[in-house]
Amino acid sequence: MRQNPSEARPAAVRVAGLRVVRGGRPVIPGLDVEVPAGSVVGLLGPSGSGKTTLLRAVVGVQAQVSGTVEVLGEPAGSPSLRRRVGYVTQDASVYTDLTVAQNLDYFAALAGIPSRGRKAAVAAAMSDVDLGGHEKQPVRTLSGGECSRVSLAAALVADPELLVLDEPTVGLDPVLRRDLWETFRRLAASGKSLLVSSHVMDEATQCDRLLLLREGVLVADITPRALLEETGAPDAERAFLALIDAANAVGADGSSPAAGGVPGAAATGRAREEDGR
Ligand SMILES: Nc1ncnc2c1ncn2[C@@H]1O[C@H](COP(=O)(O)OP(=O)(O)OP(=O)(O)O)[C@@H](O)[C@H]1O
């Protein structure tokens, strides 16, 4: 089992009693979870289980949120977290008419990096994602995989302590996925914390911990090894399906999935209203 390199450090993310309403219904009915610092935590779950919603709550852009979401010791969305948290959404978040370097310079400026430090920040982010040689290439001429890596570099350019990545490997071929996961592992080894959502179960084995969500409820918070041991499944995909089936059986039994035993602290009642989505 891969060791968590930062067991003594405070959690990078601490979620307690999180409730999120979207479209008039609670899509996360009450969640308690932590992301240990310096580790890669995988967020897994069926489509619509609330992964993106949880990530949005962590970066502070989700409306109709109650409970506590603490990021690097601050309330999620605090202005002081702007440079400390990098977020990559499912959609490409860079400008296709600008070159790679122009995009990264722009995001560095947005993050408040002074012009004299930007060149080095851009070079470091490009090197982090192995995009060297593409500086002057307009993003519209890049391959899909390269484009994904520019989005990741844009999130890395301010050297954030926490990276929140929403399905960063979707649509990538196996070689690019492997390379990207090597990058994630390298970033964690350098002390960064990563919260990464994914549909691809073989990626689960690359994580230090796994959070499995179903209908906004935490089904498991477990290491990849314990997932296999506890389910007796031969691989992560079948282990995951076994847990989801077990959770479905509990739901069919009449008990609400919202009541599924989520360990942790109670809600503090701190509420936020944001963009109404
Ligand atoms: N803007 C919105 N308005 C109303 N309901 C929404 C909105 N966005 C998402 N939802 C609902 O919230 C629930 C959780 O969605 P979310 O996008 O967090 O799931 P997900 O696990 O990330 O799904 P996927 O893996 O398909 O991206 C879903 O039932 C979805 O229909």
pLDDT one-digit tens code per residue, 31-52 = 999 999 999 999 999 899 999 9
- CATH 3.40.50.300 boundaries in the chain: 1-84+160-277
**pLDDT band at residue 86 under the 50/70/90 scheme:** very high
What are residue 213's DSSP bridge partners?
218
For ligand 1, atom 14, the nearest C-alpha belongs to 50
Q: pLDDT category, 3, cuts 50, 70, 90?
A: very low
Q: DSSP strand E in the chain: where?
A: 13-22, 25-35, 40-44, 65-71, 74-75, 85-88, 162-166, 193-198, 209-214, 217-222, 271-272
Q: 200 C-alpha vs ligand 1 centroid, how far in Å?
A: 18
Our answer on whether the CB atom of 29 is closer than 6 Å to any ligand 1 atom is no
The mean pLDDT of the chain is: 86
Q: Is the dihedral of CA 153, 237, 218, 91 positive or negative?
A: positive
Residue 256 has pLDDT above 70, yes or no: no
If pLDDT is split at 50, 70 and 90, which confidence band does 175 have? confident
Nearest CA to ligand 1 atom 17: 52
Looking at residue 193, its pLDDT comes to 97
pLDDT beyond 70 at 198: yes
Q: Which atom of ligand 1 is nearest to the CA of 23?
A: 4
- Over range 246-265, report the average pLDDT: 52
**Where residue 265 falls among pLDDT bands split at 50, 70, 90?**
very low
CATH code 2.40.160.40 for 1-84+160-277: no
Contact between residue 132 and residue 126 where contact means Cβ atoms under 8 Å apart: yes
Place of tokens 């978040």: 93
| Mean predicted confidence (pLDDT) in 213-241 | 92
The model's pTM is 0.86
What gap in Å lies between CA 145 and CA 159, rounded to an integer?
A: 21
Check pLDDT > 50 for residue 250.
yes
36 Cβ below 6 A of ligand 1:
no
pLDDT band, residue 179 (cuts 50/70/90)? confident
Q: Output DSSP code: residue 198.
A: E
- Is a pLDDT exceeding 50 seen at residue 257? no
Positive or negative torsion for Cα 204, 13, 189, 6: negative
Which of 20, 21, 44, 51 to mutate to test ligand 1, by most ligand atoms within 8 A of the CB atom?
51
Mean of pLDDT values over 209-230:
93
Residue 52 Cα to ligand 1 midpoint, Å, equals 7
Of 215, 212, 220, 252, nearest to 48 by C-alpha is 215
ipTM over 0.90? The verdict is yes
Q: 191: which 2 tokens?
A: 């002390």
Q: Are 28 and 54 in contact (CB under 8 A)?
A: yes
Instruction: Tell me the best of 18, 43, 44, 49 to mutate to test the pocket of ligand 1, counting ligand atoms within 8 Å of each CB and taking the most.
Output: 49
- Kindly give the distance from the C-alpha atom of residue 28 to the centroid of ligand 1, in angstroms, as a whole number: 10
Query: For the residues 257-261, what does the mean pLDDT come to?
Result: 38
SS3 content of the chain, % helix, strand, coil (to 5): 35, 25, 40
- Find out whether 81 and 71 touch, Cβ atoms under 8 Å: yes
